[in-house]
Amino acid sequence: MTKYIVLLGPPGAGKGTQAQMIAEKYDLVHVSSGDLFRENLKQETELGKLAQSYMKRGELVPDDVTIAMVRDRLSQPDCINGALLDGFPRTPAQAEALAKMLEEFDGAVNLVPYIFVPEEILVERLSGRWTCRANGHIYHEKFNPPAVAGICDLDGSELYQRDDDKPETVKNRIKVYQEQTAPLIAYYQEKGLLANIDGTQPIETVTSDLLHAIDKAG
Ligand code: AMP
């Protein structure tokens, strides 16, 4: 049986942090569309260059290229049993495309944990976020600091602050989320797939709530 879980929530809700924990526990592949774009950027591919022009403004990369990139990732052999999707879908068109492509892979979205966090907290979370250069591991200078400042606990690589975590860009990312992504809450609620998770709790509590929701969904 395949298992496809979509993590939904605003930027800064903790999707990436939680995805890293859950993917490990359930042996699910963590597919983050943001990480895929950043990887393309690092490799200086055409897709990376195109994506950067949107990412730096906090806008969404167009649906067609985003969908093609995620489809390609989900077709890889390591995703044969499913995946934990983080940052995709972000628009109703992407959600429809995902449903269609999973049908082709003999699967479907099984659960959509929605991690909710009020807007005032998001800016503080994102502006204190540090990301690991090698593997995208996520820290926060106050809420989840690394043992040694500037160094990833897990792989020793350098930590950096994402360009799009600057306050001006963060505000636009939240606006874009509200306009284009928030409608997916009702979309998945209607399908009976939504599980509400309080993202203001400590990281470990959010993880255990998520694991509980996943176990319950079977
Ligand atoms: P994230 O790492 O999820 O915060 O994504 C960083 C940026 O990558 C976003 O602000 C968008 O510019 C782009 N991006 C990531 N996922 C998507 C998506 N599903 N659709 C469109 N753009 C995306």
112-139 pLDDT per residue, tens: 999 999 998 999 999 999 999 999 999 9
Which conformational region is residue 58 in: left (phi greater than 0), alpha (psi within -120 to 50 degrees), or beta?
A: left
Distances (CA, A) of 82 to 5, 6, 59, 78, 110: 8, 11, 28, 8, 10
For ligand 1, whether the C-beta of 34 sits within 6 Å is yes
- If one residue of 33, 98, 180 were mutated to test the ligand 1 pocket, choosing by the most ligand atoms within 8 A of its CB, it would be 33
Q: Which residues are catalytic?
A: 15, 90, 129, 162, 173
Give residue-wise pLDDT tens across range 180-215: 999 999 999 999 999 999 999 999 999 999 999 999
For ligand 1, whether the C-beta of 140 sits within 6 Å is no
* Residue ranges for the chain with pLDDT beneath 70: none
Q: What is the pLDDT of residue 95?
A: 98
**Which ranges of 91-158 would DSSP assign to H, the alpha helix?**
92-104, 119-127
